[in-house]
Amino acid sequence: MLIVMKADATELEVADVVRAVTEMGLRAHPMPGAQRTAIGITGNQGAVDPSRFENMPGVAEAIRVTKPYKLISLDLRPEKTVVRVGDATIGGDELAIIAGPCAVESRAQAFAIAEAVRRSGARFYRGGAFKPRTSPYAFQGLGEEGLKILAEVRETYGLKIITEAMDEHGMDLVERYADIIQLGARNMQNFSLLRRAGRSHLPVLLKRGMAAMIDEWMLAAEYIMAEGNYNVILCERGVRTFAQHTRNTLDLAAIPAVRRISHLPVIVDPSHGTGKNFMVTPLARAGVAVGADGLIIEVHDQPDRALSDGAQALTLEQYEQLVYEVRAIHEVVAPAPVS
Ligand code: PEP
Ligand code: MN
């Protein structure tokens, strides 16, 4: 059920509807929008009777939702969500650029890369402290020491920090140091972790699972939102196919597909999406051209020495060139509104 309030509904009227929903043992999710406020209802097993709300003051209509998701959908919120992290945004007019190493390896490495990321004008710095590696013998990340380095990067360069939490304990730690929590492809359907992220005060970057259909991905985001965290950023990072020329097949059609369904910002990861250095810039360009709200790019000061994902890491020079190119494309694809 979705309750759409009239454009001139007062805050008190919205609060009355929220109370009525709560009294039924359900959860109300009010989403103020530019035109009107809509209130999503979750927690019901069967259909909710719309007549309970239809005649309440300020209510325009009560709509039964037939799709499997509610809170992520454009029905609830017709305009795009802009995720704000301090003065930086994802989903707004500006192209969001998140860049940094796959893993934080040392203070010197993290700082050398952060310097270039800052210089490029990007607002967000990525770097894993907890790494989900296919092999148990591969570098697993520096753990909390890595998070401390990331916090220093924020202090020094003013970049917003995004880093992955692999489990609930890791999330407690990540919350202490980061600005955005990354949930990795391998955890897209870790439902207890999704719920935990939904109770976080930090925005969540939700990567698409490597075998996930769009609906499954949307429902994973719904898990987070249903717990009350509405700051979710979706990230297309490629899926498994029979193609062998890339690490994953970057599904750029997912961007317009998601746009049709959801108000959430969606970004592209051409690094994991291709796994190959020489493909990252072309696919980053394409990601921006199909309308992504941003990019997440792996960069390294010495890619041949990287402890993880070196083959897809851009050099600092390549990264600088990429930013220049994608900004030019973004200006054409999403021109600033005429004021
Ligand atoms: C990463 O961003 O370094 C990562 C492990 O990504 P994914 O979960 O998409 O594989
Ligand atoms: Mn990586």
Measure 306 CA to ligand 1 centroid, in angstroms.
15
Whether residue 210 has its Cβ less than 6 Å from ligand 1: no
User: Do 47 and 58 meet the contact criterion of CB atoms below 8 Å apart?
Assistant: no
Mean pLDDT of 269-285: 98
Shortest-distance atom of ligand 1 to CA 308: 3
Shortest-distance atom of ligand 1 to CA 184: 8
Mean pLDDT of 127-132: 97
User: Do 240 and 212 meet the contact criterion of CB atoms below 8 Å apart?
Assistant: no
What is residue 45's predicted lDDT score, i.e. its pLDDT? 86
Whether residue 237 has its Cβ less than 6 Å from ligand 1: yes
Whether residue 128 has its Cβ less than 6 Å from ligand 1: yes
List, for residues 193-226, the tens digit of each pLDDT value: 999 999 999 999 999 999 999 999 999 999 999 9
Shortest-distance atom of ligand 1 to CA 132: 5
Mean pLDDT of 129-142: 96
Mean pLDDT of 266-290: 98
Whether residue 143 has its Cβ less than 6 Å from ligand 1: no
Mean pLDDT of 319-339: 89
List, for residues 61-106, the tens digit of each pLDDT value: 999 988 899 999 999 999 999 999 999 999 999 999 999 999 999 9
**Percentage, residues of the chain above pLDDT 90:** 94
What is residue 65's predicted lDDT score, i.e. its pLDDT? 87
Ramachandran quadrant class, 65 (left: phi over 0; alpha: psi -120 to 50; beta: rest): beta
Whether residue 184 has its Cβ less than 6 Å from ligand 1: yes
Measure 185 CA to ligand 1 centroid, in angstroms.
6
Measure 102 CA to ligand 2 centroid, in angstroms.
4
Whether residue 204 has its Cβ less than 6 Å from ligand 1: no
List, for residues 33-47, the tens digit of each pLDDT value: 989 999 999 998 888
What is residue 339's predicted lDDT score, i.e. its pLDDT? 61
Which among 288, 303, 294, 298 is positioned nearest to 319, based on CA atoms? 298
Whether residue 207 has its Cβ less than 6 Å from ligand 1: yes
Whether residue 99 has its Cβ less than 6 Å from ligand 1: no
From CA 85, how far away is CA 101, in angstroms rounded?
21
What is residue 283's predicted lDDT score, i.e. its pLDDT? 98
Model confidence at 307: pLDDT above 80: yes
Mean pLDDT of 313-325: 98
Ligand nearest to the CA of residue 299, numbered in listed order: 2
pTM of this prediction? 0.97
Shortest-distance atom of ligand 1 to CA 187: 8
What is residue 46's predicted lDDT score, i.e. its pLDDT? 86
Buried b (16+ CB within 10 A) or exposed e, 271-305: bbbbbebebbbebbbbbbebbbbbbbbbbbbebee
> Which residue has its alpha carbon closest to ligand 1 atom 8?
184
Model confidence at 337: pLDDT above 80: no
Confidence of residue 336 (pLDDT cuts 50, 70, 90): low
220: which 2 tokens?
A: 């994973």
